[in-house]
Structure formats: structure tokens, C-alpha cells
Amino acid sequence: MDNSLDLEGFKNINKETRGILNDYLLSLNTANKSEATITKYQWILEKFLSQCAIPIEKISSKDVLDWLNDYSEGKSPKTMDLVLACLSSFFTFCLEEEYMEKQVLKKRWRPKIPQTLPRHLTEKEYARVRLAAESLSLRDRALILFLFSSGCRRQEVSDLNIEDINLVQRKAKVRGKGKRIRTVHFSEECALILKEYLNERSQDEKAPLFLNRKGSRLMPTGIYEVTKKLGKKAGLNHLLHPHICRHTFATNMLARGADIQFIADEMGHVNLNTTRIYARIPTEDMMLAYQNKMG
């Protein structure tokens, strides 16, 4: 995201428009949108409203399109899709609250983005990573096993406290996107290593599940560094980041015949179509079965 606009430029937004923007951002918070989403949307809207300094009720489709044409220079289709999604959400709010009389955004402006398949580890890569992980510290082994067997996002893992974990039932309560609480499960091996890790440190239930070297909560950037180093240790020819662990969890579950709805619940997908994309990934078992039948 281009951050070239000086914050001084945001002062171009008049008082009335600023009030509408603040009401909109408050509505996002009330709707339990994630902090990251609200921050992105605020930045985009402040950029738009400061550069297209026209009262909300007088903004036309041409005003918006002119701004989009200028702003889109050098931007990827994915970035522009986010910008348009943000503007669409904001203008819909303005319509509902009667700040505007008609929708000024056109659906045909949305760029066509080819749907890419999630990057996951092949069976051989997964085996190499698991083998390399055996020489890691207890904390890092527990972390890697939890990522691979729960399908959690790194922020969700970072936010976990000891009280959120049930080692006997091998499940955890995580706070996902939109502050939604869900229950995830993890493997027996993960539970055993987690127990060992917790036995060598503080047992305060309010304490973070994973600690950094200073005894504070292990942050998402720290989790990223652990997976990155493990990928190099395992000799992968690509970066191993936490989301690849999440994608690998989904593809492994599908290959074992798990129900799509169950996988969606475990991963915290509200839209089942988000989970169905994993069904398009040909696993090695699928390819082997094809080769055996087709030659």
C-alpha cells in the first residue's frame, strides 16, 4: 500500500465529511471487523476523501472514476480490488444513512483477479519439515506442531493464553477475525510437546501460551521468524511462512476425507467457498490414483 501521502494532506477533509467517516469507522468496529481491516479502510478513505475533496452528497461517479484512474497507476489489481471494496462499503453506509442519494460506484470497475491456489507443502516437503523440527527447542517444536495440526493463523496463535488450552481434550479456544471465538483441535503429539514445554516454565493460566526469549508474549513476527528459519533448515526452495502451515493443514485434512464444513469451522471460514478452493488442489494421493488408472 502506498504511504506516500503526508498526514498533513488528511487535513483537507472537511469537518462534516470527517464526522461521516468517523461514524462509518465506528460501524465497522460495532460489526466486529478486525483491527487490521479498520486500519486499512481508514487509511484508504482518508486518502480518497483528502484528494477528492468534494462534499459526500455531491460526489459523482465521474469524481470517483477520475480519482481511481489517477490512484491506480502502478498499483496491482489486488490492491485496487481492496480499494474498491473499501469505497463500496463506505458508499453503501452513506446511502443507508442518507448522506448520499445514489450509489456512485460501478460494479464493472472491479478488476478481474485470477483465483490462485493456496501454497502448501507437498508430502515430501512436509516430511522434511517435520524431521527438521525435531531438533528445535521445545517451544518451537510445540509451536510448529500446533500450526500444522490446528490450522490457526499466526495472530490467533500469538493471542493464546495457557487458560485457552485443554491438553486432555486437545482443543483450544482462539479469537479469530472479527473477534469471533471458535474451538480448534490439535494433535496428540502436539499436546505431549506442549505439556513438556509448559512444565519447564510458568504455569500461570493468564500467561501467554508461547513466550519469547524475554519472557513476554511471542508476537506474530516472532512466529514468522521461527517458520522461516525452519524452512531453511529443512532445505525448502521457497519461504515457509505460517500461512503455508495453515494451507497444509487444510489440504492434509481434505486428503484424509474430512468434511468441508468441519475444515471451515476449524479454520474460522465464514464463507464455505473460501474453504472449497482447497478442493481444487491436486494432492499427491490424487495424482498417484490418476496415474494408476490412466497410466
CA distance 145 to 151: 10
| Catalytic annotation present for 185 | no
CA 260 to the chain's CA centroid? 19
Quick one: cell of 212? Answer: 519469547
Does residue 96 contact residue 103 with C-beta atoms inside 8 Å? no
| Catalytic annotation present for 213 | no
Q: Which residue in 120, 170, 246, 247 is the catalytic one?
A: 246
CA distance 115 to 15: 40
Residue with cell 487535513: 11
Q: Which residue in 153, 154, 170, 247 is the catalytic one?
A: 153
Q: Which residue in 41, 99, 197, 278 is the catalytic one?
A: 278
CA distance 132 to 240: 13
CA distance 197 to 142: 7
CA distance 41 to 67: 16
CA distance 285 to 253: 13
From first CA to last CA, the distance across the chain in angstroms is 48
Of the candidates 236, 269, 234, 267, the one whose C-alpha atom is nearest the C-alpha of residue 250 is 267
Give buried/exposed letters for 231-243 (b at 16+ CB in 10 A, else e). bebbebeeebbbb
| Catalytic annotation present for 280 | no
Q: Which residue in 119, 177, 233, 276 is the catalytic one?
A: 177
Q: Which residue in 185, 195, 243, 276 is the catalytic one?
A: 243
| Catalytic annotation present for 247 | no
| Longest CA span, the chain | 70
Rounded to the nearest 10°, the torsion over CA 149, 154, 159, 162 is 30
CB atoms within 10 A of CB 130: 17
| Catalytic annotation present for 278 | yes
Q: Which residue in 47, 141, 154, 269 is the catalytic one?
A: 269
| Catalytic annotation present for 177 | yes
Catalytic residues: 153, 177, 243, 246, 269, 278
